[in-house]
Structure 1
C-alpha cells in the first residue's frame, strides 16, 4: 500500500504544477464575471481569460460570498434594537423560567399575542365590512326618516286646519229658526 501512495502523490504534484509550469512569466491572467458568453472577452496573445458566467438574476444582487455573514456589523439596525430590547429582561413580568416572579409576564405575553392575532384575523375584516354596510344603511335611514317625519307633520297640519274650519263653521240646524209650536 505504501508503494502506491508515494507514486500517486508524485503524480498529483506533477499535475498540479503543470499549469503553473506552462504559464510563462509574461502571461497575464484576466478573471472576468459575466452573465452571458457574449460578455466574455476574447483572450489576446500572452493572456489567459477566466470567465465565470453567473445567472442573469444574480446581476444586481450582493455577491453570494458577501451575503451571509455572522459579523455583528452586518446586522440591520432593527435586529440590533430587537436584541437590545431583551437584554436584562428577567424577574417580574419577564416570562422566564429563571428568576423570582419570572412566570408573571407570561400571561401578559399571551394576552398581547392574542390581541395581535385578533387584530389581524379574518373576522376583523368581516367586522369592518359589516360596519361599512351598516354605516351605508344608516345614512339612508336618516334621509328616509326625515322624509317620513315631514310627511307626518304635513298630515297633522292638514288635520288641525280641518278641525279649526269645522269649529269656525256653523253647526247643522244652527242658522234655522225653530219650527212653530202646534
Structure 2
C-alpha cells in the first residue's frame, strides 16, 4: 500500500511540471537597451530576449542614477578627501598646536576662522542684513518717486512746447521795422 501511495504522490507532483513544458526552450541570451525620449528602440534579433528601458530626454547626458548616489570611496569628491586628510594630520606648521615645529603659526588663521563662524551664527546686529533691508526700502521709494518725477518732467516739457508755440505765433520784432521813423543824420565832432 505504501509503494502505491508513493507512486501516486510522485505522479501528482510531476503533473504541473509536465503541463508547463510546451517543448520549446526559452533562449538564455538577453539584450538590454536604454532609449531616451522618442528615439526608436533597437531591433531584436531572433532567439534573443530584448529588454528596452525608456527614460526621459533630459536624462540622456546625466550620470546614471546608480552612480550618482554611490557610497564607494572611489566616488568621493576630492574636497571631502582633502578635508579628511586635514583632520588626520592636524599638527605641525599652520596647525595651532604645540606639537611639531611651527605649530603656533596657524593660531591666527584658527582665530579668524572661529571668529567668522561665531559671527555667522550670532544673534548680534548684522550690518549686511541692515544694508540689504535699506536697499530694498530705497528701491521701493525709487519706483514711487520715479513715477512722480516722470510726471513733473512731462509737465515741464509741455509748458516749454507751449511757450515755443506762442513765440512762433507772435510777431517778430523786425516785421514792423518799415513803419519806424528813420534816424536823423548826426554829424560827429570831427565832421564839421
* TM bracket, shorter-chain basis: 0.3 to 0.5
Q: TM-score, normalised by structure 1?
A: 0.42
Q: TM-score, normalised by structure 2?
A: 0.41
